[in-house]
Amino acid sequence: MAHSRSENGKSLRPAHVAIAVAIVVIISNFIFSGTVLKGQEIKAAELEMRAGELRAAVSGKGSGLYDVARTESFINGLPESKDLTRILDETFQSARQHDLVVHSADYSPESRDGSFSRYSFAFPVEGSYKDIKKFLYDIETSRRPIAIDEVNLASGKAGDSRIVLKLRMSVYYR
């Protein structure tokens, strides 16, 4: 098998491999972003709608007792603030179970909205594309009120099959 060689005699094949890997990662990013973000947009819209209904019911602008009952049911279904640490631990444990590496996390202050709050956190995970997809599926199907707010996919080092996914997520609680 002949290798292309440059003028100084070095092989050009590693450069071609790196370019091919970069192209595959970029295409995967477009596909991945489109499918994951669409599902998350729907989930976020549902949560925003429920939050709007909750605000209306709490302020007395809702449509009556049915709204109050739904509001109370929604709030009572949210985890308590004391459970936040466990929810975050479960999220990071899920990443580790899928052979993903989490180096650090950034936490945003709580935002209070009447009877419930939102806690945001961001972290990068590093691993194979397949493992990242499995991890995101676990988050999407979690019974926890977690929303994926932002997803950024980047390739790893040239010639490395690992990629980096940067996530920003929110947990809703009472």
Higher pLDDT, 85 or 115: 85
Q: Name the one residue in this structure whose structure tokens are 């936490």.
A: 107
- As given in the structure block, the two tokens for residue 82 are 């004391």
Say how far apart CA 86 and CA 83 lie, in whole Å. Answer: 5
Give the best-scoring range by mean pLDDT among 13-17, 72-76, 164-168.
164-168
Q: Is the pLDDT of residue 11 over 80?
A: no
Say how far apart CA 160 and CA 25 lie, in whole Å. Answer: 11
Q: Is the pLDDT of residue 2 over 90?
A: no
Domain ranges of the chain: 13-173
For residue range 118-132, list pLDDT tens digits in order: 889 999 999 998 999
For residue range 27-68, list pLDDT tens digits in order: 887 777 777 777 778 888 888 888 877 777 666 665 555 667
> Which one is the CATH code of 13-173: 3.30.70.60, 3.40.50.720, 3.90.850.10, 3.50.50.60?
3.30.70.60
